[in-house]
């Protein structure tokens, strides 16, 4: 029996499938023998509004510079697998935690029954409060009652999130990270997180919280007086770019709920386009460019995908 091995790398997935594989489920897409498939999660907007109705012929894709033929386009048909990764460090403040819980609750309420959602919180330690589940109530319950304390380890938290997704073709794997980005406790260096996100294949959106009131906590004051921690760190923005998502700024607590719902709207209005790649399947990073033709719009997509070395 031919072995079937699937290497799903999140939003950009590569599947190598052989014929006559036992155990194919009816829900899994069927591929030709010895064909790889790459799936790219793409956002197309015009003046900020999603562009709908695009077909395969509208997408112009290059994989490491080689033109590709898009053979499948899906729009809002694929369930979300959404991991909420929330900063609960002292920089947020207890009021900030409550605002965060409220905004996240609104987002969870707007999910479809087929979507899965999970919750990770972090200060210096990373806690998987609820793994990915269709039981949305579990996440709603876990959102309440939190307090803000401790330093921040967003890079380690994001790393954990990237490791918790099942490698599957038929889902959108998304991380929504909420943090001010000042990492004071992670083992992972700032220079490494971008490549972790690249290799994972997840789509990463990050929300920068509104500035909290001045803190009397010297730990917080200390981190703020440092000139290098004045605004969103480059490592966070690089990670978001690598994940093909966006960095959203919340100007106020009330704005946070709007931001979260806007993130969900954007996720719903993204295309999943697939192609069987031509060109060399060299291990390592493959740069993917996506443009549209016969239509106007701004395109945002993961910039590529990772091909692991053969073992």
Partner 1 sequence: MRSRFIAWALAAVPALAVWPAPVAAQDASALTSRYDAAVTALQHRDFGPVERLTRDWGRREFDTAVSRARLDTPTVMQAAALLQLEVAVRTVETSAEDALFHVRLGQRILTPLAKENGAQGDFVARWSAVASSVFLARTDPVRARLAIAFALDHRPNDARVRLTLGAIDDLGSLALDVDDASERLVNRRAAAATRDRARLLAAAEQEYRTAAALAPDLAIARIRLARVLFRRDQPDAARRELDTVRDATLSIGDRYLWLLFSSAVDTALRDIARARTHLEEAVEIAIDRQGSWMALAQLEEREGRPERARAVVEEGLAFRRANVSDEWWEYRNGRFDQEGMTWLRAAVWR
- Interface residue list for partner 1 (CB under 8 A): 124-128, 151, 156, 159-160, 163-164, 181-192, 195-196, 199, 217-219, 221-223, 225-235, 237, 308-309, 311
In the bound state with partner 1, the residue whose beta carbon lies nearer, of 45 and 215, is 215
| In the complex, least distance from residue 223 CB atom to partner 1, rounded to whole angstroms | 6
In the bound state with partner 1, the residue whose beta carbon lies nearer, of 138 and 268, is 138
| In the complex, least distance from residue 181 CB atom to partner 1, rounded to whole angstroms | 8
| In the complex, least distance from residue 95 CB atom to partner 1, rounded to whole angstroms | 19
| In the complex, least distance from residue 187 CB atom to partner 1, rounded to whole angstroms | 5
| In the complex, least distance from residue 219 CB atom to partner 1, rounded to whole angstroms | 4
> Cβ neighbours of residue 202 under 8 Å, at least 6 residues apart?
10, 11, 161, 162, 165, 173, 174, 175, 243
In the bound state with partner 1, the residue whose beta carbon lies nearer, of 18 and 188, is 188
Residue 267 neighbours by CB distance under 10 Å:
21
Residue-level length of the chain: 311
In the bound state with partner 1, the residue whose beta carbon lies nearer, of 165 and 275, is 165
In the bound state with partner 1, the residue whose beta carbon lies nearer, of 140 and 219, is 219
The CA distance from 182 to 150, in Å, is 12
| In the complex, least distance from residue 76 CB atom to partner 1, rounded to whole angstroms | 29
| In the complex, least distance from residue 42 CB atom to partner 1, rounded to whole angstroms | 24
In the bound state with partner 1, the residue whose beta carbon lies nearer, of 151 and 245, is 151
Tokens of 138: 């579990």
| In the complex, least distance from residue 144 CB atom to partner 1, rounded to whole angstroms | 18
Inter-residue contact 187 to 216 (CB < 8 Å): no
In the bound state with partner 1, the residue whose beta carbon lies nearer, of 177 and 267, is 177
In the bound state with partner 1, the residue whose beta carbon lies nearer, of 63 and 208, is 208
The CA distance from 119 to 129, in Å, is 5
């Amino acid at each position: 029996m031919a072995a079937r091995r699937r290497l799903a790398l999140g939003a950009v997935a590569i599947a190598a499938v052989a014929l006559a594989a036992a155990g194919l489920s009816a829900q899994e897409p069927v591929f030709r023998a010895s064909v790889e498939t790459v799936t790219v999660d793409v956002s197309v907007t015009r003046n900020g509004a999603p562009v709908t109705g695009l077909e395969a012929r509208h997408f112009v894709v290059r994989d490491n510079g080689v033109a590709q033929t898009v053979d499948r386009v899906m729009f809002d048909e694929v369930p979300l697998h959404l991991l909420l990764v929330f900063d609960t460090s002292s920089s947020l403040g207890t009021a900030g935690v409550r605002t965060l819980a409220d905004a996240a609750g609104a987002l969870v309420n707007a999910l479809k029954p087929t979507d899965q959602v999970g919750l990770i919180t972090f200060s210096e330690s990373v806690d998987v409060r609820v793994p990915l589940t269709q039981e949305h109530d579990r996440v709603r319950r876990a959102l309440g009652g939190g307090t803000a304390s401790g330093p921040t380890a967003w890079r380690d938290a994001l790393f954990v999130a990237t490791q918790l997704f099942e490698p599957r073709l038929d889902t959108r794997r998304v991380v929504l990270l909420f943090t001010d980005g000042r990492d004071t406790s992670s083992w992972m260096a700032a220079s490494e997180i971008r490549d972790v996100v690249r290799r994972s294949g997840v789509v990463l959106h990050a929300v920068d919280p509104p500035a909290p009131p001045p803190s009397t906590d010297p730990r917080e004051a200390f981190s703020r007086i440092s000139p290098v921690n004045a605004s969103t760190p480059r490592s966070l923005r690089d990670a978001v770019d690598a994940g093909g998502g966006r960095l959203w700024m919340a100007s106020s607590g009330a704005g946070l709920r709007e931001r979260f719902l806007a993130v969900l709207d954007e996720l719903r209005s993204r295309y999943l386009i697939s192609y069987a790649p031509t060109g060399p399947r060299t291990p390592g990073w493959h740069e993917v460019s996506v443009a549209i033709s016969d239509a106007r719009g701004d395109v945002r997509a993961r910039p590529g995908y990772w091909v692991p070395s053969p073992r």
